[in-house]
Amino acid sequence: MKVILLERVGRLGSLGDEVTVKNGFGRNYLLPQGKAIRANEANRARFEKERAAIEKRNEERKNEAAGIAAGLNGVSIVMIRQASEAGTLYGSVSSRDIADGLGDKGFSVSRTAVDLPLPIKTVGIHEIALNLHADVAVSVNVNVARSESEAERQEAGEDMTVFDFDDQDTAAEEEIDATEEAEDDAEDITSEEADAEVSEEDADKA
């Protein structure tokens, strides 16, 4: 699919560039997000006619994003989740959760701006990038904890994860027991096979 970019999109190109992208990327992201239009004669003519207005609108969005980024600088949000003693969450924290958490603090940020390839699955303070505009990015801290008091202790620099050595020892013991049991079974099978061979030899002699 060929599209005309209405703003800079990563390494893909800048405003006005005509580029070829995969159909899914174009249909599911660029077009619905208003970052591009299909490259055809009608849209080329429309783009050139409206280019000045598009550039002005893009600059306004950039300035707006820069203002939001300035307010977000140094911001931290707290996410309370249930987790094991080792710090593994029973659920997760998604990009939507982060966007909603920022919204609770008065910041309007789309979940698509949250640069989170995979959901957060552990307690701790996670630095997350927000791509507010093609030319504007900022990072916020997401403090994932099991309680408000734990979040405060993490904020103070305390590590709240506990490595469970008992669980590790139990797992190791179970692995050893399983190995020994398998070896015993193998010895029993070998012994039975040997007895069977002896019985066959005795039968042949008889």
Do 11 and 32 lie in one domain? The reply is: yes
| Coil vs helix vs strand at 2 | strand
* Domain final residue pick, 155, 170, 191: 155
Do 86 and 68 lie in one domain? The reply is: no
* Domain final residue pick, 72, 92, 123: 72
6, 12, 160: which is closest to 78 by C-alpha?
Answer: 160
Do 150 and 90 lie in one domain? The reply is: yes
Do 83 and 63 lie in one domain? The reply is: no
pTM over the 0.75 mark? no
Do 80 and 151 lie in one domain? The reply is: yes
77, 200, 64: which is closest to 133 by C-alpha?
Answer: 64
Task: Please check whether residue 142 is in contact with residue 80, taking contact to mean a CB–CB distance below 8 angstroms.
Answer: no
| Coil vs helix vs strand at 90 | strand
* Domain final residue pick, 72, 93, 124: 72
Do 60 and 120 lie in one domain? The reply is: no
Do 86 and 148 lie in one domain? The reply is: yes
Beginning with the edge strand found earlier in the chain, give each strand of the sheet holding 76-80 in spatial order. 76-80, 136-145, 124-133, 114-115
Task: Please check whether residue 4 is in contact with residue 47, taking contact to mean a CB–CB distance below 8 angstroms.
Answer: yes
List CB contacts of 45: < 8 A, sequence separation 6 or more. none
Give the CATH number for residue 100: 3.10.430.100
Do 29 and 88 lie in one domain? The reply is: no
φ/ψ bin of 81: left (φ > 0), alpha (ψ from -120 to 50), beta (otherwise)? beta
Do 67 and 8 lie in one domain? The reply is: yes
Number of structural domains found in the chain: 2
Give the pLDDT confidence score for residue 203 in this predicted structure.
Answer: 46
Q: What is the mean pLDDT of each run of 10 residues along the chain (206 residues)?
A: 92 93 94 94 95 93 94 94 94 96 94 94 96 93 96 90 50 53 55 48 48
DSSP 111: G
Residues comprising the chain, all counted: 206
Instruction: Tell me which residue range forms the domain holding 38.
Output: 2-72
Do 127 and 99 lie in one domain? The reply is: yes
Residue 122 lies in a domain: yes
Give the pLDDT confidence score for residue 159 in this predicted structure.
Answer: 87
Do 67 and 94 lie in one domain? The reply is: no
Give the pLDDT confidence score for residue 160 in this predicted structure.
Answer: 76
